[in-house]
Chains A and B, each alone.
Chain A
Amino acid sequence: MSNQPHSENQRIYARIEYEKVGRLRFLGHLDVAAAFDRALRRAKLPVAYSEGFHPRAKLSFIHPLPVGVVGLHELCAIELKEYIESATAGQRLHKQLPRGLNLLSIQVLPRQKRTPFADLDRADYVIDIDPDKVGADELALAVRDFLDRNSINIKRETKRRLRTVDIRSGTHKLAVTNGQKLQLQMSLSLAQDDLVKPVEVLQVLARLIGRSSLPVKLMTRVKLYRA
C-alpha cells in the first residue's frame, strides 16, 4: 500500500445512495456490483483500485440485497484516488447507471478513516402479501402472537453450521396494514449479534398461521439507517 496517493487513514470516499427498482430488482448482488463497476468506468470517475495481479475497483456494498427485492435507499461506498466535486461525480455517474439502478445522491467525503456507513444497524422493510391467498385478520393475529413472545428461536445456516438464534429482540417493529394493499412493515436489526432477516420473520409468521410460506408479492427494503 506504500504507493497509495494518500495515507491509510486519509481516504476519499464517494458515498452513494441509489435505488434498485423495477425489473432490475432481479439482479443478483454480484451483478449489481459489476453494473456499478462498469458505470464508474464509463463515467470516468477517479476510482481507486486494489493492488496485486487482479486489481479491482474498491467498491463496498453493505448488506447486499437479495435477488428480487426492491431497494429504495441502498448504499454503496467507492474509494476514490483523487477528490472530485460531488455534483460533478453525480452528473457523470447518473448518466451511466442503467435505468432501475437509479442514483439518489452522491457525497464525496475527503479525509475519511473508514467506510462512511460502517455504523448502520437497522433496516426497514415493506412486504406486499397476496390478499387473495391469506386473510388480513389471520395475518394480524400472527403478528400479535409474534410480538407477544419474549423470544423466537429459529435455525439459521451460517458457513456450514446450523445455529439457533433468537430473532425476537432484533425485530424492532412489525405491523400489518390493510389499505389499498395488504402489507407487512418491519424494522429489523442489522447488528451482527442481533441480525434478523425479513424472510425469517415471514417464515415464523407463516408457521403461526399454519402455512409453509407466506404468499409474498413483492419485498421492498425502504431504508438502511443508524437507529
Chain B
Amino acid sequence: MLPEKILAEVHRPARYLGGEYNTVVKDPSQVRIHFALCYPDVYEVGMSHLGSQILYHVINSRPEAACERVYYPHLDAVKLMRQHRLPLSGLETGRPLADFDIIGITLQYELTYTTVLAMLEIGGVSIRSAQRSPSEPLVLGGGACTGNPEPLADFFDAFLIGEGEEAVGEILDTYDRWQQDHPNRGTRSPSDREELLHELAAIDGIYVPSLYEPEESSEGLLIPRPAAPEAKSTIKRRIVEDFANAPIPTAPVVPWTDVIHNRGQVEIARGCTRGCRFCQAGIFYRPVRERSVETIREAATQIIANTGFDEISLAALNCPDHSQINEIIDGLHKDLSSQRVSIGLPSLRIDNFSIELAQKVQRVRKTGLTLAPEAGSQRLRDVINKGVTDEDLRSATEAAFEAGWETIKLYFMIGLPTETDEDILDIAELLEQVVQIGRAKLGRRRRHLQINVSLATLIPKPHTPFQWLQMSDPAELSRKQDLLRQRLKDRREIKLSYPNSYLALVESLLSRGDRSLGSIIERVYAEGGVLEAWHERFSYARWEQAFAAVGKDLATEAQRKWNLKQQLPWDHIDLGVSREFLQREYVRAQQELTTPDCRLAGCQSCGLAELLPCPAIMAGLQSRSQETKSEQPAS
C-alpha cells in the first residue's frame, strides 16, 4: 500500500492501492501475529496465485493473526520508494515489511530468487538469516521450489516443505507460544531466536537450514548434514490428507486491475499420478485427492456471489482426471450460466474426452484450447512417459476443429533424454498433420487456422526421475530450435515460440543447486538482477560474472554429469516418493518403457502408499471401473 504522493507518480497505481474487495483488514491492536504473505513478483502475477489465496484465507481465519499481501512493485515504483525512503509494506495496512512478525515467501519459480532478496532489502529486513537480529521478523519459505531449498538456505530462517493449509496453523501456534515468553521484540536475544527455530524444527515438514552444516561430497556438491540435536535427518513433506474438506477461499480478494488469472478459482483435485517423468508437480503433490461435486459447486457459487467474477476456473494438475468431471461441469453450468459466468479449464491432455469437456465449458464464453503432446515421436513420448499417441493427437485436433476452434495451442519440449534431430523433425511432421486436419475440417474458414506452438526446454528437476540427467547444452538447444523453425518456416498457420536457452540453463542450475549458490544469487541481485522471471529483465552475462566471481564457470557447472548413486543436495527432503522408484523410472526412460497411471493399473510402488492410505488406489480404481472413458493405460 503506497501513499498518495507515490500513487500520483507511478504507472497503473491501482496495483498499490490496497483495499480491494474482500481484503481482510484487522485492527492491529487486536492481533498478536502479523504475517506478511509475499509473492516475489509483481501484483499481476502474485494476485493470480491460488496457493497464496488459500493461505491468506487460512491465516486470516485465526483471530490471533492478521495476514497482509506483499508483492514486488514495478521498477518505477521501487525507484520512487527509494527516493522517498519508503519501505516495502503490506497492502492491507501499509505496515512495513520489517515490522511483521513472520514473513512468508512463496517460492514457485527459480528465477524469482533474486526478487526474494530484493523484497527483503527494500522491506528493510536483513537478507542473510545469519545476520538477522533477534528483533527482526522470522523469514519462512514455502511452495514447490522447496523440493530443493538449498540455494536459498542462507536467506531463510525456515522452510515449510509441502502443503501449507495445516502446517501454517502449527507454525502460528508455535510462534504465539514463543512470543508470549518473549513479548518484547526489542529485548530478544540471539538465544531466544534460536529457541524459536528449535521449536519450529520440531514441526513436521519444517526445515531449519541453520541446524545443518554443509559437507562437500566426492562430486563437489555441498550436502547438508544435521549439526544440532533438533535437526531431523530427513524432513517429510506435509500432505493434507483430508483434502476433500480442506478450507477453500470462497471470498478471495478481487484485484483492482487486470491480473494474469482475473477470475475465481476452485481447486477440484490435487495431485496427478500420470507419471510424466519430467514433471515435478506430479511428485510434489502426490497422492491424487479429489473434492466432491457438491463441495465444488457450493464453493464456486459462493466465490461468484462473493466476488462477482465472470469466470470460474477449475484448478488441478489434470482436470479431466477428476472421477466426476462431467458432473462438475454440468453442475457449474447449471448453477452459473444464467449469471453469464463462464467456466475455464487449464491445459488439457490429448484425448477426445478432454475435447468434449472443453467444448462443454465454452457454452457461455469461448475460450482457448491448449494441448500438450510434449514430444514429436512416440518413442520420445514413451521416454518421458507421456501416455498419448499420434492418433490421440490427430483425433483430438479433429474433434477440436469440428467443434469450432480455429486456433489451438500445442506445448512441446526439447532437450529430452535420448532426443535426436529425427525427434525434432517428428514435431514438424506432427504439426504438418494437424495443419492438414485443420484445413480439411475448417473448409471455408481455413484461413483462420492458427496453431500456436510453444517449445519449452526440459529442465531436470529435483525429485523427478530426470533429476540425474545432464542439462542440455544451450547451443545445442538453440540449434534444435532453429532446425524446427527452418522446417516450419513456410507454414504460415504455425506460430512457433521458444524461450531463451540460457535462461533455461540458469533455471536448471538454481533448481539443482547446493548452498554455494546463495552467494551467487546475492551477487546477481547486487548487480541489479531482479524480476528476472520477466525475460527482458534476465541477463545471462550477470549470472556468468557472478559465477566467475567465486571462481566457478557457469557453463561447466550447468553441464555437470550426475549419477544414480551420488548424494544429492536435496536428499534430506523427503517428498514421500522413494529414491528407488525414481531410479527405476530413470532406467525405464532410457529403455523407452512406459509406466502406467496407478489409478488405472494399480499401485506402481512409488513409495507413498507406505506413508499414508493412498487415496488414489482406493478411490481411483473404484470409480474408474464404473467409467466408460475410452482411455487405455499407457503401457
Does the CB pair A28–B19 fall under 8 Å?
no
B4 neighbours in A (Cβ, 8 Å): 23, 26
A38 interface contact, C-beta 8 A: yes
Q: Which of A8-53 contact B (CB under 8 A)?
A: 23-24, 26-28, 30-31, 34-35, 37-42, 44, 49, 53
Does the CB pair B17–A38 fall under 8 Å?
no
Number of contacting residues on B, CB 8 A?
28
User: How far does the alpha carbon of A53 sit from the alpha carbon of B308 in the complex, in Å?
Assistant: 20
User: How far does the alpha carbon of A27 sit from the alpha carbon of B12 in the complex, in Å?
Assistant: 8
User: How far does the alpha carbon of A38 sit from the alpha carbon of B22 in the complex, in Å?
Assistant: 12
Does the CB pair A26–B7 fall under 8 Å?
yes
When A28-B257, A54-B366, A68-B13 are in contact, do A38 and B21 touch as well, CB less than 8 Å?
A: yes
Does the CB pair B308–A40 fall under 8 Å?
yes
A67 interface contact, C-beta 8 A: yes
Does the CB pair B258–A55 fall under 8 Å?
no
Q: Which of B271-309 contact A (CB under 8 A)?
A: 304-309
A31 neighbours in B (Cβ, 8 Å): 14, 256-258
Does the CB pair B340–A26 fall under 8 Å?
no
Does the CB pair B19–A23 fall under 8 Å?
yes
Q: Which of A49-102 contact B (CB under 8 A)?
A: 49, 53-55, 57, 67-68, 96, 98-100
User: How far does the alpha carbon of A99 sit from the alpha carbon of B20 in the complex, in Å?
Assistant: 10
Q: Give the number of residue pairs across the A-B interface with Cβ within 8 Å.
A: 71
User: How far does the alpha carbon of A53 sit from the alpha carbon of B254 in the complex, in Å?
Assistant: 24
A55 neighbours in B (Cβ, 8 Å): 340, 364-365
User: How far does the alpha carbon of A194 sit from the alpha carbon of B310 in the complex, in Å?
Assistant: 38
User: How far does the alpha carbon of A148 sit from the alpha carbon of B97 in the complex, in Å?
Assistant: 55
Nearest chain B CB to A118's CB is how many angstroms away? 26
Nearest chain B CB to A16's CB is how many angstroms away? 16
B8 interface contact, C-beta 8 A: yes
B339 interface contact, C-beta 8 A: yes
B341 neighbours in A (Cβ, 8 Å): 41
User: How far does the alpha carbon of A26 sit from the alpha carbon of B2 in the complex, in Å?
Assistant: 11
A27 neighbours in B (Cβ, 8 Å): 14, 17, 256-257
- Of B8, B17, B304, B308, most A-chain CB atoms within 10 Å: B308
User: How far does the alpha carbon of A221 sit from the alpha carbon of B365 in the complex, in Å?
Assistant: 37
Nearest chain B CB to A215's CB is how many angstroms away? 12
User: How far does the alpha carbon of A37 sit from the alpha carbon of B262 in the complex, in Å?
Assistant: 13
User: How far does the alpha carbon of A69 sit from the alpha carbon of B329 in the complex, in Å?
Assistant: 43
Nearest chain B CB to A18's CB is how many angstroms away? 16
Does the CB pair B8–A96 fall under 8 Å?
no
Does the CB pair B366–A53 fall under 8 Å?
yes
Look across to chain A and name the residue whose beta carbon is closest to the beta carbon of B19: A23
Look across to chain A and name the residue whose beta carbon is closest to the beta carbon of B339: A41
Q: Which of B18-47 contact A (CB under 8 A)?
A: 18-21
User: How far does the alpha carbon of A91 sit from the alpha carbon of B8 in the complex, in Å?
Assistant: 33
Does the CB pair A35–B340 fall under 8 Å?
no
Does the CB pair A28–B14 fall under 8 Å?
yes
Look across to chain A and name the residue whose beta carbon is closest to the beta carbon of B16: A26
Look across to chain B and name the residue whose beta carbon is closest to the beta carbon of A30: B258
Does the CB pair A23–B12 fall under 8 Å?
no
User: How far does the alpha carbon of A21 sit from the alpha carbon of B606 in the complex, in Å?
Assistant: 58
A98 neighbours in B (Cβ, 8 Å): 19-21
Contact with A along B223-267 (1 / 0, CB 8 A): 000000000000000000000000000000010111000000000
Look across to chain B and name the residue whose beta carbon is closest to the beta carbon of A54: B365
Q: Of A24, A53, A54, which one neighbours B17 at CB under 8 angstroms?
A: A24
A40 neighbours in B (Cβ, 8 Å): 308
Q: Of A26, A42, A68, which one neighbours B307 at CB under 8 angstroms?
A: A42
- Of A26, A40, A42, A98, most B-chain CB atoms within 10 Å: A26
Nearest chain B CB to A81's CB is how many angstroms away? 11
Does the CB pair A35–B256 fall under 8 Å?
yes
User: How far does the alpha carbon of A30 sit from the alpha carbon of B13 in the complex, in Å?
Assistant: 13
When A38-B308, A38-B309, A41-B304 are in contact, do A26 and B13 touch as well, CB less than 8 Å?
A: yes
Nearest chain B CB to A67's CB is how many angstroms away? 7
User: How far does the alpha carbon of A57 sit from the alpha carbon of B306 in the complex, in Å?
Assistant: 18
Look across to chain B and name the residue whose beta carbon is closest to the beta carbon of A34: B258
Does the CB pair A37–B257 fall under 8 Å?
no
When A24-B17, A28-B257, A31-B14 are in contact, do A68 and B308 touch as well, CB less than 8 Å?
A: no
B21 neighbours in A (Cβ, 8 Å): 35, 38, 98
- Of B8, B20, B258, most A-chain CB atoms within 10 Å: B8
B310 neighbours in A (Cβ, 8 Å): 37-38, 41
User: How far does the alpha carbon of A67 sit from the alpha carbon of B8 in the complex, in Å?
Assistant: 9
User: How far does the alpha carbon of A176 sit from the alpha carbon of B286 in the complex, in Å?
Assistant: 69
Look across to chain B and name the residue whose beta carbon is closest to the beta carbon of A40: B308
Q: Of A26, A39, A99, A100, which one neighbours B308 at CB under 8 angstroms?
A: A39
A96 neighbours in B (Cβ, 8 Å): 308
User: How far does the alpha carbon of A178 sit from the alpha carbon of B571 in the complex, in Å?
Assistant: 73
Does the CB pair A53–B365 fall under 8 Å?
yes
Contact with A along B364-405 (1 / 0, CB 8 A): 111000000000000000000000000000000000000000
Nearest chain B CB to A57's CB is how many angstroms away? 8
Q: Of B20, B257, B340, which one neighbours A49 at CB under 8 angstroms?
A: B340
A57 neighbours in B (Cβ, 8 Å): 340
Instruction: Pick 12 A–B contacts, CB within 8 A, sort by A.
Output: A26-B7, A26-B8, A26-B13, A31-B14, A34-B257, A38-B308, A40-B308, A41-B304, A41-B339, A55-B365, A67-B13, A98-B19
7 smallest beta-carbon distances between A and B, as pairs? A38-B308, A41-B308, A53-B366, A26-B13, A42-B308, A26-B7, A31-B257
Residues of B within 8 A of A (CB): 4, 7-8, 12-14, 17-21, 254, 256-258, 304-310, 339-341, 364-366
